[in-house]
Every structure is written in structure tokens, then in C-alpha cells.
Amino acid sequence: MSAEKIVRMANQISMFMETKPKAEGIEGISSHINDFWEPRMRRQFFELLDSGAAGFRPLVVEAAEKIRRPTAAA
């Protein structure tokens, strides 16, 4: 999946969750990504985030602490 698509999808979740109290928004983003994104997508997400978080909304960056990191690709 392209980097732009990963960023766009994470930011779409964030825009919805930004209408809620901050703690609930963080929990909502992390829960959604943990429940619905396969390990490959989460791996790409963390690769992008670790390389500087370019383009991610601030709430996505904050929620990253609660998102499960997949194991390294074999």
C-alpha cells in the first residue's frame, strides 16, 4: 500500500475521532487500527511514523503508543 494511502486512512480515522474527548479519540484510533489493520499495514504505519511522522495528524501520533507494533517482516 502506498505511504500516502496509509497516512490518508489514519488521518480519516483521526478526523472522526477528533470530535470526541481527546482520551476517547486516542482510544478510538488505536482500537480501530489494532482491530482492522492487518500487520503489514501497521508495519508500514510504524515505518512512516518512525521516519518522521510526515503528514500524520497530531492525534494519530499520540495514539501510536497504544497501537500494537507487528513483528519485523521475515
Full-prediction pTM beyond 0.85? Answer: yes
Q: What is the DSSP letter of 37?
A: S
Q: What is the DSSP letter of 57?
A: -
Q: What is the pLDDT of residue 73?
A: 62
Chain-wide mean pLDDT for the chain?
A: 94
Q: What is the pLDDT of residue 58?
A: 96
Q: Please, what sign has the CA dihedral across residues 56, 11, 20, 61?
A: negative
